[in-house]
Amino acid sequence: MSETSRELVERGKIDVEGRLVDASNVTLFCTIEFDGVTGNVVYKPVSGERPLWDFPDGTLAGREVATAMVAEASGLGAIPPTVLRDGPFGPGMVQLWIETTEEELVDVRSPESLPEGWRVVLHAHDRDGEPAVLAHADRQGMRELAVLDIVVNNTDRKGGHVLAGADGRVYGVDHGICLHTDPKLRTVLWGWIGERLSEAEVGKLRGLRERLDGDLGDALSAHLTGFEIRALAERTELLLAEGVFPEPGDDWRAVPWPLF
């Protein structure tokens, strides 16, 4: 996170412009201004979070921030600058709005129309009974998001949560239901199953594990329980020990629904 972006999301004056109606929880599109710098942010007030049976009430904003902290500390995946702060409707998650391109990174298509190099996640049939596949592009930024999702135990990596930034980077958003202690990985980014982690990915995971015993672990305690931080460390250790992208488990649905 650049210092300018950090100051903007942490200290800027927020004005609500409208609501993103497709979101499960209250998600507000806002303008923000600080010291002459302006931009847009997404603001998700804690008061607008919908209760879930398996996540404690009022914790989703903190989980978004914690996931962004893990990504920033490890260098795994790009998440827009994200903070927990007060806003027009009380405390909530504030995240810098990222300008995107029209490029699709995850899609459902006929096998014949699949772009070269895309990775197939699953085979299905469309409403007319014709063959279709869920697939995604093969980008390093997406691969690193997939690694991040494994360690933060992301239970909702939909296709719409992977954005092609106008700056050429691939961004991940919507991380409110991450970092549970129970295995819950649910993602559309299954395209690297069984492939070995690269040396760079292993190095980033090792750095993450070390920092969880120090400054990062201390900082995460503002948003997560000790059990959740320990589970994060254990998932990181397991991925390092196995050295490959895992297969889906048999105890839970491995792909989110809806897909986008």
Task: Please report the domains of the chain, with CATH numbers, ordered by start residue.
Answer: 3-101+137-245 (1.10.510)
Residue 126: per-residue pLDDT: 86
Mean pLDDT of 111-115: 94
**In this structure, are residues 108 and 259 in contact, taking their beta carbons and an 8 Å threshold?**
yes
Report the side by side order of strands in the sheet with 119-125. Answer: 106-109, 131-136, 119-125
Task: Identify the three-state secondary structure at position 38.
Answer: strand
Residue 1: per-residue pLDDT: 52
pLDDT band at 252 (very low <50, low <70, confident <90, very high): confident
Task: Identify the three-state secondary structure at position 151.
Answer: helix
Mean pLDDT of 59-72: 98
- Other beta carbons less than 10 A from residue 65's beta carbon: 25
pLDDT at position 162 over 70 = yes
Residue 11: per-residue pLDDT: 96
pLDDT band at 250 (very low <50, low <70, confident <90, very high): confident
Mean pLDDT of 32-40: 95
Residue 196: per-residue pLDDT: 98
Mean pLDDT of 130-158: 97
Percent of the chain past pLDDT 70, that is, above it, reads: 100
For the whole model, what pTM was predicted?
0.95
Q: CA–CA separation, 85 vs 118, rounded Å?
A: 39
What are the pLDDT digits (tens) for 119-134?
999 999 988 899 999 9
Residue whose entry in the numeric block shows the structure tokens 């029209």: 102
Q: Which of 3-7, 29-33, 170-174, 205-209 has the lowest mean pLDDT?
A: 3-7
**In this structure, are residues 255 and 187 in contact, taking their beta carbons and an 8 Å threshold?**
yes
Strand partners, 34: 37
Q: Average pLDDT of the chain?
A: 96
Q: CA–CA separation, 63 vs 28, rounded Å?
A: 18
Residue 22: per-residue pLDDT: 85
